[in-house]
């Protein structure tokens, strides 16, 4: 405990944030310098994305199955811990620093189950391994504390979005398009705002490309650009119950995963490009519908992070569906859009170190703010 108190008392701390998202295509790592009392208290010193080895990614996907092996869960948990530790060392080296220069690691891990109706969630990537390999205090397993207080355990980005992106005079919307898409409403002046999962992001698109072509994603939206959207199927998809549910709400592969894609595949004979185009339109349209349905009007813009920001078809679809709302990359606000979630978990780890809550009950539905995570020492 003395070591934690000494770290919390430092005027300047360096923390590495880690996450492997719903797409499970790589580990995002960000090294953040946190300075108490500064005008800009968070500075990103380096960030990187390390692709998961093909065999490890295959093993992670096997855990998404309902009949996944507990033996495999244990083994992959340890293997992912090694991969996350390697990501820490890589991003620290990129910044020209050594592990001894780092105070803290905050690891989200890899979600393999998210069951908010049951108050249960599971992220793997053993934090004890990360701490042992790096020699750095590691905080992980952030979501269960929120769920223990009645929350959905997600989204956890709103508090950090407010710290980083709130504006004194304008309302802002910050969107992340990972495997699942989520949005944060930031009222002018930094007050508590809404945040929730909107529905599918890249997960269905990526799964389709993997099934047809064996590739990881529709790079640059090329397939969607060539394909034809099936308007009738799209209209049916947009009737999904989750999309109409009032926030707070969260979702995952349990709702928009393999079984959902199988159902769509069974509706007609598909060309790959047409299915990718239809699912890309589903992502953009469901996000736009969420903005129209649940977000207050008059925001200055919609700033986008996550893998979806690199898909011109998604970005163009959003702007076409929201003609009065400027849509731009989060880079315009000074943060690499690929680093946003990793930065979030660096900051959440610092919140935990200092004994401060990391959840936003207005977003998760928790009964009260909670200090998040579990701490592992080297």
What is d(CA 175, CA 317) in angstroms, rounded to the nearest whole number?
14
Q: What is the pLDDT of residue 24?
A: 86
Q: What is the pLDDT of residue 134?
A: 98
**CATH number of 2-153+338-376: 2.60.40.10, 3.60.70.12, 3.30.420.40, 1.10.287.3510?**
3.30.420.40
Q: What is the pLDDT of residue 22?
A: 82
Q: What is the mean pLDDT of each run of 10 residues along the chain (378 residues)?
A: 90 96 90 79 93 95 95 98 98 98 98 95 98 98 98 92 93 96 94 90 96 94 98 98 96 93 96 98 98 96 96 98 98 94 96 95 95 98
What does the DSSP assignment read for 126-158?
A: -HHHHHHHH-S-EEE--HHHHHHTT--S----H
What is d(CA 241, CA 180) in angstroms, rounded to the nearest whole number?
16
- CA-based R_g, the chain, Å: 20
Residue extents of the structural domains in the chain = 2-153+338-376, 158-333
Enumerate long-range contacts of 69-75, CB under 8 Å, 24 or more apart: 73/112, 73/124
Domain 158-333 grouped into CATH 3.30.420.40: yes
Q: Which DSSP helix (H) or strand (E) runs through 163?
A: helix 158-165
- Phi and psi dihedrals of 110, rounded to 5? -115, 120
Q: Is the pTM value of this prediction over 0.95?
A: no
Check for a shared fold between 2-153+338-376 and 158-333. Answer: yes
Q: What is the pLDDT of residue 39?
A: 57
Q: What is the pLDDT of residue 38?
A: 57
Pair type for strands 104-115 and 42-51: unpaired
302 beta partners: 173, 327
């Amino acid at each position: 405990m003395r070591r934690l108190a000494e770290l919390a008392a430092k005027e300047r701390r360096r923390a590495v944030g880690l996450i492997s998202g719903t797409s499970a295509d790589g580990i995002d790592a960000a090294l953040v310098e946190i300075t108490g009392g500064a005008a800009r208290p968070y500075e990103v010193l380096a960030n990187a994305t390390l692709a998961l080895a093909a065999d490890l990614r295959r093993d992670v996907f096997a855990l998404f199955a309902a009949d996944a092996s507990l033996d495999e869960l244990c083994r992959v948990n340890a293997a992912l811990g090694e991969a996350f530790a390697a990501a820490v060392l890589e991003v620290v080296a990129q910044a020209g620093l050594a592990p001894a220069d780092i105070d803290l690691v905050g690891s989200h891990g890899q979600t393999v189950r998210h069951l908010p109706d049951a108050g249960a969630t599971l992220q793997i990537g053993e934090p004890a391994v990360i701490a042992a390999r790096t020699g750095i205090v590691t905080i992980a397993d952030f979501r269960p504390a929120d769920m223990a207080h009645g929350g959905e355990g997600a989204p956890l980005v709103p508090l950090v979005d407010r710290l980083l992106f709130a504006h004194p005079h304008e309302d802002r919307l910050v969107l992340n398009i990972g495997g699942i898409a989520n949005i944060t409403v930031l009222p002018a002046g930094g007050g508590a705002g809404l945040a929730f999962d909107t529905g599918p992001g890249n997960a269905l698109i990526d799964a389709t490309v993997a099934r047809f072509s064996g590739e990881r994603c529709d790079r640059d939206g090329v397939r969607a650009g060539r394909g034809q959207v099936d308007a009738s199927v799209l209209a049916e998809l947009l009737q999904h119950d989750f999309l109409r549910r009032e926030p707070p709400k969260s979702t995952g592969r349990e709702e928009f995963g393999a079984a959902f894609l199988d159902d769509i595949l069974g509706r007609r004979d598909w060309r790959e490009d047409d299915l990718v185009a239809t699912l890309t339109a589903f992502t953009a349209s469901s996000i736009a519908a969420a903005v129209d349905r649940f977000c207050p009007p008059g925001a200055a813009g919609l700033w986008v992070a996550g893998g979806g920001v690199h898909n011109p078809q998604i970005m163009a679809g959003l702007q076409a569906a929201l003609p009065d709302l400027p849509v731009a990359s989060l880079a315009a606000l000074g943060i690499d859009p690929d680093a946003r979630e990793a930065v979030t978990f660096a900051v959440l780890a610092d919140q935990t170190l200092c004994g401060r809550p990391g959840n936003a009950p207005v977003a998760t539905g928790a009964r009260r703010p909670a200090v998040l995570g579990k701490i592992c020492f080297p």
